[in-house]
Amino acid sequence: MRDKQHLILGEHKTRRVMLARAIEQGDAQGKLLGEAERDRIDQESRRTASPDSRARMGEFIHDRAVQVISTVEPRDPWLAGLQNARPWQLWLAAGIPVLAFTLGVVSNIIGNPHRVDLVSLPLLGIVAWNVVMYLALLAGWAMARSGQKSWIGALGRWSDGNRALSRRPGNARAQVTAHFWREWFKVTQGLHTSRIKRVLHLSAAAWAGGVIASLLVRGLVVEYRVGWESTFLDASQVNTLLNVLRVPAQLLFPLAPFTTEQVARLQFSAGGGTAEGASTWVFMYVALLLVVVVIPRLVLAAIAWVRERFQAGTMSIDAAEPYYERIASLLDVARVELCLITHSDEDRGRLMRVLAQEADIAHTLVSSDQGDVLRFIDLSGKQPPALGVAQPVAQEGSSAFHSWLDMVKAKLIAPSVSAIPLADPALQQAWDHGDLVVHLARSDADIDAARPLVEWLGKPVLVVGASELMRGAVSFDSFARNWSREQHFFDAIAKLLPKPSAAACNRLAKAWDQRNRARFGRSMDIVAEHLLLAAKQSGDVPESGFPALRATERQAREEARAQAMRGIVARLDESARSMLSRLRELHGVRQEGESALQHRLEREQLVQRRLGQGNNMPVAETAGGAAVGAGVGFALDLLAGGLMLGAATAAGAAIGGWVGAAWTKRGTSITLSNEMLQAMVEAALLRYLAVIHDGRLPEGEEPVTAWTSEVVAQVAADNELYTPFWTVARSAQTATEVQSALGRQLESTALKVLARV
């Protein structure tokens, strides 16, 4: 059932819903429920939703809460057990009245068991206490009518509120438990008040019932002697008191008024006290307790019980809270239409490079699993129908009044024009379905040029440009430089959309980010494949074990070694080109732009140095850790120092001079050193940065220098993490798991770089 902004649920269902909320909001680190599991629960909830789930939103939210709790229960049964009231709470509610009855029995038998005191302190105390409580209840009722909270409600609080959340922040169970009890108390304070009142009223009635039971049961086997004694009261005062107590007792037991003489004869200290008529006095006190305590308390307990049942069955949660709004939005499918306005081909190209990242895009930017769609309408260069292309240009010196009049005309004419089909389908689509205007502006002139169209549309506007252009403008670079910043764009547009569309925008942003991260993962897998191929490269150089004496032999040996190196270089060059081409296709860089991209990388290559001198250096020089550079090709002189000799020539020598011993020919293997592979990691990541920034940067901006320094520093910091991969690649066939693990390591390094560029 739904009441305005509230969902009406029973106590047990509300308890489950609030426990699920506490789990999702209190478990910030996802120790109990991961993000992927929440997505799965959302999808399952949508799949199993009934056709009338929108009308029965409370049931839909409850069913989802059951899935959340059942997912957490195997990991923390105690926490999942909070969905039901604790047994000790039920026992406490029943045990307190039983204990009160027992105390009532005990309090009346303390003292002389054969005597009934007419001014007995336990009896009169019970009556007086209940009269005071009735007055307090009346005062509490008056306070409640004035809006003040009852102090009784605080007795039902099982948590100390926000202070509990500040303790043990790393303990997921403690945080969820504190969150649950805090929110549960807020929602159920009225219910707790009614429940506690019921228990207190029953306990008061039980106490008086215990006294009554004690009087009547002992009277079966004991002969009571009735009287009174007092240090401060005389017979007339006691008579007045007894006549006052007789009035309520008369409602159940008719009694004649007492006289002072009768009361005086019953004084114990004067030798009084009699067993004659003792039953009359006993029944008077029983009737007094029934009328003043037991019956009123039972009536009040019944009222509290009825109110408790009603409150337990009609508990409500605020559906306007963001948590419940998000769940409710799972049943809604939205189409968000962005109206794009730019003022130059360059601006349009940069904006579309950010938004249209799929090669087969047709005005649909992204869609969510739920069916939400983000689309765009290009209104660049469009004019509103009310103005038209023939709109006269204001002459220099025209009055401000005429400008104001033109604006009023535009606003008055625009609705009537839009009421008929427009000649321009883009304007018609924007008018009918547009949700938000995204205006990429560079100057005040751009703002003024777009103002007529923006005013005609009447949609919320997100200005993308310098903040001094317009208050609330969003910088293009704040979200457009690379995919890791694009979430800021969705955050900006979600703030301007109505709540249903904003909820859909959040789901679309999540789908957008998932797509970006999947593309990022595939990119790093491509880079990992290239690097592992490089690590496995080797070339065998046949050599004689006997030292070459003639120049022709030495020249042939060097030529064979160079030929092996050139073979490695050619294979790596081909692999690098293939990697760059695959990255380009993956990120939607046009094929004709690939050559320009390679040219820019070669032009901006900052370090073209030898990694060593001579072919026999097993460890390459690092020149202070500088990078090998981002060039596409690998020149032989660049690689020479990175090539190391393994399985060195096995030779036998005759010590003391040349002897004509026979030498067997062995093979010499040439591979890439770890330092060279580190340089190739740097080069590959620089290629990736160049690809993802392609088309997004302003004309003339070339931040390769900044990229290089960041990449070099981060790869150097993570260098030890890459060494095991090179060892595995050289020793055996590289398994898919190794390539995947290297890809994840590259992701870690690249994300750190992206956070700084």
Consecutive H or E run containing 422: none
User: Residue 337: which H helix or E strand, with range?
Assistant: strand 335-341
Say if residues 138 and 300 touch (Cβ distance below 8 Å).
Answer: no
List the beta strands (DSSP E) in 352-408.
364-367, 373-378
* 357-363 contacts at long range (C-beta below 8 A, 24 or more positions apart): 357/515, 357/587, 357/588, 358/588, 359/588
Both tokens assigned to 230: 């007092």
Run of H or E residues at 398: none
600, 602, 607: which is closest to 697 by C-alpha? Answer: 600
Sequence-ordered list of residues with C-beta below 8 angstroms from that of 350, at least 6 positions apart, any chain: 440, 476, 480, 695, 696, 698
Q: Do the domain assignments include residue 543?
A: yes
What is the amino acid identity at position 429?
Q
Helix (H) or strand (E) holding 629: none
Return the pLDDT at 165. Answer: 54
Spatial CA neighbour of 753 closest among 660, 688, 694, 677: 688
581 SS3 class: helix
Q: What is the pLDDT of residue 108?
A: 67
User: Are 307 and 338 members of one domain?
Assistant: no
Residue found by looking up tokens 């029934």 in the block:
290
Question: Of 68, 67, 69, 72, which Cα lies nearest the Cα of 31?
Answer: 72
Kindly state the tokens that stand for 495: 């703030």
Do residues 337 and 302 both lie within one domain? no
Query: Based on the domain organization, do 392 and 459 belong to the same domain?
Result: yes
CA–CA dist 350, 652 (Å, integer): 67
* pLDDT for residue 743: 93
525 token code pair: 């897998």
- Statement to judge: residues 219 and 100 lie in one domain: yes
Chain centre distance of CA 264: 80
C-alpha span between 733 and 730 (Å, rounded): 8
**Contact criterion met (CB below 8 Å) for 528 and 726:** no
Q: How many whole angstroms separate alpha carbon 69 and alpha carbon 62?
A: 11
Is the Cα torsion angle 96, 99, 101, 106 positive or negative in sign?
A: negative
Considering the domain architecture, whether residues 365 and 299 belong to the same structural domain is answered as no
Query: Are 535 and 580 in a shared domain?
Result: yes
Concatenate the DSSP letters of all residues of 98-159 into one string: HHHHHHHHHHHHSS-TTEEETT-HHHHHHHHHHHHHHHHHHHHHHHHHTTPPPGGGGGG--S
Going by their DSSP bridges, the two strands 2-3 and 225-227 should be labelled as: unpaired
pLDDT for residue 538:
80
DSSP characters over 446-480 = HHHHHHHHHHHHT--EEEES-TTTSTT-B-THHHH
The answer as to whether 75 is a domain residue is: no
Per DSSP, the three-state class of 68 is helix
User: Residue 656: inside a domain, yes or no?
Assistant: no
220 within domain boundaries:
yes
Kindly report the number of other CB atoms within 10 A of residue 170's CB atom: 8
* Domain shared by 455 and 521, yes or no: no
Which is nearest to 630 in space by CA: 726, 704, 564? 704
C-alpha pair distances (Å), 283 with each of 116, 237, 668: 12, 22, 119
Token pair for 88? 């000790």
Please state whether beta strands 666-672 and 538-543 pair in parallel, antiparallel, or not at all (unpaired): antiparallel
Asked if residue 579 lies in contact with residue 687, where contact means CB atoms within 8 angstroms, the answer is yes
Q: Which residues of the chain have pLDDT under 50?
A: 1-3, 387-405, 407-419, 603-667
Q: What is the DSSP string of 471-523?
A: TT-B-THHHHSSGGGTHHHHHHHHTTS-HHHHHHHHHHHHHHHHHHHHHHHHH
Helix (H, G, I), strand (E, B) or coil at 635: coil
Q: How far apart are CA 643 and CA 628, in angstroms?
A: 14
Clarify whether residues 623 and 744 are in a common domain. yes
Identity of the amino acid at 454: V
The half-sphere exposure of 438 on its side-chain side, counting CA atoms within 13 A, is: 24
Distance CA 757, CA 749 (A): 13
Residue 226: strand, helix, or coil: strand
Could you tell me if residue 25 is inside a domain?
A: no
Question: 409 is in which domain, residue-wise?
Answer: 333-480
726 backbone dihedrals φ, ψ, rounded to 5°: -65, -40
Same domain for 202 and 345, yes or no, is no
**Angle, helices 172-221/121-145, rounded to nearest 10 degrees:** 140
Split into its structural domains, the chain has a count of 3
Residue 142 is assigned to a structural domain of this protein: yes
Q: Are residues 436 and 543 in the same domain?
A: no
Question: In this structure, which amino acid lies at residue 426?
Answer: A
Cα–Cα–Cα angle for 673, 674, 675, rounded to 5 degrees: 90
Inter-residue contact 377 to 430 (CB < 8 Å): yes
* Distance, CA of 67 to CA of 38 (rounded, Å): 10
In a domain, 496, yes or no: no
Structure tokens at 276: 């004659």
User: Is the distance from CB of 164 to CB of 175 less than 8 angstroms?
Assistant: no
Cα angle 159, 164, 170; round to 5: 135
Amino acid at the residue 688: Y
Buried b (16+ CB within 10 A) or exposed e, 112-126: eeebbbbbbebbbeb
Does a structural domain hold residue 7?
Answer: no
Judgement on whether residues 305 and 420 belong to the same structural domain of the protein: no
Q: Tell me: do 564 and 711 sit in the same domain.
A: yes
